[in-house]
Amino acid sequence: MADNQGVKYAVDLVICIDGTGSMRHLIEQVKSSALKFYQLLEAEMTKQTKKIDRLRTRVIVFRDYWEDSADQVMQCSEFFDLRSQSSDFDNFVSV
């Protein structure tokens, strides 16, 4: 039997992004990295001859409780299936 035959991978991943003022100079780079995450993960899994059967990702962006409005302090997305909802994920991260 080949390695990993019959093994199914279901992954739920949460990405937390610091959206506070101290991240102002890096936030675009952080967003760009988050947007590339799925492609990089798939490439690495292919190198390892493994396949993720189900991948869901939720994004949490947190900000300063003392500086930002209550509706901006903690923004949490739904879980996105990155295969079928990648544009929804991209839209949430890009804001």
pLDDT digits (tens, 9 = 90+) for 36-73: 999 999 899 899 888 888 999 999 999 998 888 888 89
Give first-to-last CA distance, the chain, whole Å: 47
pLDDT, mean of residues 73-87: 94
Burial of 62 (0-12, 13-18, 19+ CB in 10 A): middle
Percent with pLDDT over 70 in the chain: 94
Q: Which amino acid, 41?
A: L
Contact 35, 27 (CB under 8 A): no
**The pLDDT of residue 34 is above 90:** yes
For the chain, domain boundaries: 9-94
Report d(CA 15, CA 60) in Å as an integer: 6
pLDDT, mean of residues 73-81: 95
